[in-house]
Amino acid sequence: MTDRRLALHEILVAALGSRNVYYQPPATVKMKYPCIVYHRDGSDILRSDNSIHRKLKRYSVTYIDTTSSETVTDLLEEMQYCSYNNKVVVDNLYHSYLTLYY
């Protein structure tokens, strides 16, 4: 069985168009922009008849860029279980926050 998190990582790399995708990076990592930062945020479990019918992991995804371009966030929103949450500017960097179930 393939690791779904690594498959998700490659999907995010393809959406960004570069390898600047970081999974749960420590504070010491110097990121290159534009980038995507994501971490596991929970699960969505559908139960019925005392069994699990579907389990999706929930990820918090942040797209960070020096411009206000929404090209990458638009691509991510096309994924079946992805939703856009918010956009803020921090230290002259644009942060777009999304929730993704995969």
For residue 13, the domain's CATH number is: 3.30.2000.20
The pLDDT score that the predictor gives to residue 56 is 87
d(CA 89, CA 102): 27
Residue 64 belongs to what domain range?
A: 4-101
The pLDDT score that the predictor gives to residue 1 is 39
Give pLDDT tens digits for 11-37: 999 999 999 999 999 999 999 999 999
Give pLDDT tens digits for 42-95: 988 878 888 887 788 999 999 999 999 899 999 999 999 999 999 999 999 999
Cα–Cα distance list, 4 to 31, 52, 63, 84, 91 (Å): 24, 18, 20, 22, 33
Helix ranges (DSSP H) in 1-102: 4-16, 71-77
- Compute how many other C-beta atoms are within 10 angstroms of the C-beta atom of residue 44: 11
Provide the whole-model pTM: 0.88
Number of domains within the chain: 1
